[in-house]
């Protein structure tokens, strides 16, 4: 606060998140979470459902495969930023466009936002 600059810290998640059906990270998944959660003004996570779904590809040609393809098309290049803690504001989720080749995040086109809700 004295220097009037933001400080960004990164942290690993514990492996607990991989054991759950819903892979969205939570505050409890932070390593040394007590200290981080206590000191941080804002805690945000990035979640990409596409990352997990592409690893569950069913056998091509099956009924499950067609459903999987439809779901993949719906979530392609969509990321979710989860604001898990914000000392001076609201918490919640924001969907963003994710370009994997350049690791770039940007606003989603309005058409894509409506399709996901």
- 13-60, pLDDT tens digit by residue? 988 888 999 999 999 888 776 788 888 899 999 999 999 999 999 999
Determine phi and psi for 39, rounding to 5 degrees. -85, -30
State the residue range of the domain holding 77. Answer: 43-115
Q: How many domains does the chain have?
A: 1
103 dihedral zone (left: phi>0; alpha: psi -120 to 50; beta): left
**Token representation of residue 28:** 């409890």
d(CA 91, CA 81) in angstroms, rounded, equals 11
Please tell me the pTM assigned to this model. 0.81
> Could you tell me the strand order of the sheet in which 42-47 lies?
42-47, 78-86, 92-99, 104-107
Asked if the structure places residue 61 within a domain, the reply is: yes
**Token representation of residue 9:** 């810290």
Asked if the structure places residue 96 within a domain, the reply is: yes
117: pLDDT strictly greater than 50: no
Asked if the structure places residue 77 within a domain, the reply is: yes
* Three-state secondary-structure class, residue 72: helix
* Three-state secondary-structure class, residue 33: helix
Q: What pLDDT shows up at residue 98?
A: 95
Q: What pLDDT shows up at residue 110?
A: 63
Asked if the structure places residue 89 within a domain, the reply is: yes
Asked if the structure places residue 32 within a domain, the reply is: no
Asked if the structure places residue 35 within a domain, the reply is: no
Q: Are 25 and 17 in contact (CB under 8 A)?
A: yes
Average confidence (pLDDT) over 50-72: 92
């Amino acid at each position: 606060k004295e220097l009037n600059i933001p400080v960004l810290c990164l942290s690993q998640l514990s492996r607990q998140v991989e054991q759950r059906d819903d892979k969205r990270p939570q505050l409890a998944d932070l390593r040394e979470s007590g200290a981080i959660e206590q000191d941080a003004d804002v805690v945000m996570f990035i979640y990409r459902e596409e990352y997990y779904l592409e690893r569950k590809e069913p056998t091509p040609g099956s009924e499950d495969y067609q459903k999987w393809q439809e779901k993949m098309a719906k979530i392609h290049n969509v990321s979710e930023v989860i604001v898990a803690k914000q000392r001076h504001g609201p918490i919640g989720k924001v969907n963003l466009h994710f370009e994997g080749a350049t690791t770039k995040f940007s606003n989603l086109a309005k058409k894509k936002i409506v399709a996901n809700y």
